[in-house]
Amino acid sequence: MQVAEAIVRILEKEGIGDAFGIPGAGINGVYKYLADSPIKHHIMRHEEAVVHAADGYFRSSGRMALAICTSGPGATNFITGLYTANIDSMPLFAITGQAVRAQLGMDAFQCVDIVSIASPIVKKAVCITEPEKIGEIMQDLFWTAREGRMGPVLLDVPLDVQTAEIDFDINSYQSKPIIQKSPDEEKIKKTIELLDAAEKPVIIMGGGVILAHAEKLLVSFAELMNIPVITTYMAKGGIPENHPLNAGQAGIQVGAISCGNEILLDSDVVLGIGCRFTDRHTGNISIYKGNRKFIHIDVDPRELGKLIKPEIAIESDAYKALESLLSEANKKGQRKGAARIIDIPGKKKSSEQQYKGEGEIIDPRDVFLMVNKVFGDDCLYTTGCGITQIWSGQLQKVNKPRTYLPSGGAGTLGFDIPAAIGASIGVGNKQVVCMMGDFGFTFMVEELAVVRKYELPIVVIIVNNAYLGLIRQNQKGAYKYEYEVALKENKYGFIDYCKVAEGFGCKAERVFSYDELEPAMKKAKESGQPYIVEVFVDDYQNCDMGNDIAHVNRF
């Protein structure tokens, strides 16, 4: 059979059920066989969106998808999507077309060394030049994507390799088994001893816990030990909002108004599981560390000690580590816990933003509080970057894992809509709400055509402050100036985003007052269709944030 057919048959055998892509001359050899495959293909409008959709698909469903496009600029447009998926540990299988082998390195039309470009931001990238090796190369790439800390992989396929005839039997192809790392049991025992000896321990649930489907184990362990739980931004939804041990988020941006920072600062031992201690979480690292002792559990050994030197470092899959922790803790039975756990629900409530619901101008933060009321736990959420993402992280209430799907480590404007497409398709066309600003809406806005084409129940909430809000706040706060961040035409001028949305076949409406806010959102939710709600809000409202978790500026 041809290599192109072997590629498609291997994708099928590895469990790929959905593909997001854009066909082109450089990849049409593979598309010939996709046409007759049970893999369902969804055509996107931009190659970056192709990867964001495959990324969002995994975030919601836990299954890998295919991202596929042609050579040259099609391939290079994959880069932002690959980086976004990689930094958040989201696996997907990317395939790019390529010029024939004789043209490699010859500056031929649409011939680019995509493997060299992509290698720093994927787990592995390979250009196949020996057709008969397609089986072993794809087997290794799938294993690489799923093993340890997961991430995207890329296969670059020259045109003449796609059409090459090889002797290949799909029945002989087998997936390479994944054996996740188990923890060192002696270190597990030391962890329990250190937590038992602590006066005020705390657990940090990271996104790795969600990826390992270990959130229930973590909550059970916290309940047995009576230790408060703080979530990182990527773990939002991993523990119900009203759980008595849920201390909220910690961090200098999305965790700024939670009591999580207060609980963390008041702790003496910190157990971090599946987290990276990255800068938006910690802020000033010396203040974050203080005199606290840290225990760090992560599947990626490169993360252990990279930013914080722990007392105990455990390389392990989060699920297996929590199984061991629970087993060891159960030997001693239920713990009483520190007295401070009684105050957690009250502390959380006192730190929450209250809905104003009145005034001539809508407070942008009230938009997110209304989203909580109208949409609740019935849908999924995506968000990209900027002041809107920070408000979303601070204010949105999420009670279920794999329902709040942000671009975390990259903070990618334009992630929202295409990721929502993949996320919705991944869980049976479920409703997704995209929270975004007026500037961010213009990134990947063409994907509304895809939303309409497939009749996906995606609601886009545009929080229109006619500004690059976060950049203005940074310019004014850190540098005492303002330049090229005002976008008054978005609200007061010639731009009408609702007409843009309607041009793509979506329903849309504008909201100018508090009286209109709830009815518009209810209409969008109940429509079951692509729906855009543009809310005009206060131009100048800042978001709460700071340089360290002990000094958060409130606005």
pLDDT in tens, 416-453: 999 999 999 999 999 999 999 999 999 999 999 999 99
**What is the C-alpha to C-alpha distance for residues 169 and 450, in angstroms, rounded to an integer?**
36
| Residue owning tokens 């409530």 | 349
Let me know if residue 320 belongs to a domain: yes
**Model pLDDT for residues 503-534, shown as the tens digit of each residue:** 999 999 999 999 999 999 999 999 999 999 99
Q: Quick one: 372 and 338 in the same domain?
A: no
Which of residues 165, 194, 215 is at a domain's end?
165
Let me know if residue 551 belongs to a domain: no
The CA distances from residue 204 to 237, 240, 263, 432, 467, in Å, are 13, 15, 11, 27, 34
Q: pLDDT at position 172, please?
A: 96
Let me know if residue 50 belongs to a domain: yes
Q: What whole-number percentage of the chain has pLDDT above 90?
A: 95
Which of residues 349, 381, 413 is at a domain's end?
349
Q: pLDDT at position 372, please?
A: 97
Q: Quick one: 435 and 341 in the same domain?
A: no
* pLDDT of 217 strictly over 90: yes
Q: Quick one: 330 and 365 in the same domain?
A: no
* pLDDT of 256 strictly over 90: no
Q: pLDDT at position 454, please?
A: 98
What is the rounded average pLDDT of the residues 225-231?
A: 97
| Residue 328, token pair as written in the block | 């060891």
| Residue 514, token pair as written in the block | 């508090």
What is the rounded average pLDDT of the residues 284-290?
A: 96
Residues in Cβ contact with 324 at an 8 Å cutoff, skipping those fewer than 6 apart: 182, 183, 185, 188, 316
Start-to-end CA distance of the chain, whole Å, equals 64
Q: Quick one: 340 and 372 in the same domain?
A: no
DSSP state of 353: P
**Model pLDDT for residues 35-73, shown as the tens digit of each residue:** 999 999 999 999 999 999 999 999 999 999 999 999 999
Which of residues 321, 349, 377 is at a domain's end?
349
Let me know if residue 458 belongs to a domain: yes
Let me know if residue 552 belongs to a domain: no
Q: pLDDT at position 265, please?
A: 96
Which residue, among 210, 314, 465, 509, has the nearest Cα to 473 in the 3D structure? Answer: 465
Q: Quick one: 318 and 373 in the same domain?
A: no
Q: Quick one: 238 and 320 in the same domain?
A: yes
3-state helix, strand, coil in the chain (%, to 5): 45, 20, 40
**Model pLDDT for residues 165-208, shown as the tens digit of each residue:** 999 999 999 999 999 999 999 999 999 999 999 999 999 999 99
293-298 and 312-315 strand pairing: parallel
Show the domain range for 463: 354-541
Q: Quick one: 310 and 367 in the same domain?
A: no
> What SS3 state is found at 518?
helix
Which residue, among 105, 41, 23, has the nearest Cα to 115 in the 3D structure? Answer: 105
Q: Quick one: 342 and 358 in the same domain?
A: no
Q: Quick one: 93 and 136 in the same domain?
A: yes
**What is the C-alpha to C-alpha distance for residues 378 and 132, in angstroms, rounded to an integer?**
48
Q: Quick one: 336 and 210 in the same domain?
A: yes
* pLDDT of 468 strictly over 90: yes
> What SS3 state is found at 96?
strand
Q: pLDDT at position 137, please?
A: 98
In DSSP notation, 240-293 reads -TT-TTEEEE-SSSTTTTSTHHHHHHT-SEEEEES----HHHHBSHHHHHTT-E
CATH number where 196 lies: 3.40.50.1220
CATH number where 497 lies: 3.40.50.970
| Residue 212, token pair as written in the block | 């390992």
Q: Quick one: 254 and 369 in the same domain?
A: no
Please, which pLDDT band fits residue 311 given cuts at 50, 70 and 90?
very high
Let me know if residue 490 belongs to a domain: yes
Q: Quick one: 315 and 369 in the same domain?
A: no
Let me know if residue 508 belongs to a domain: yes
> What SS3 state is found at 176?
coil
The total domain count for the chain is: 3
Let me know if residue 450 belongs to a domain: yes
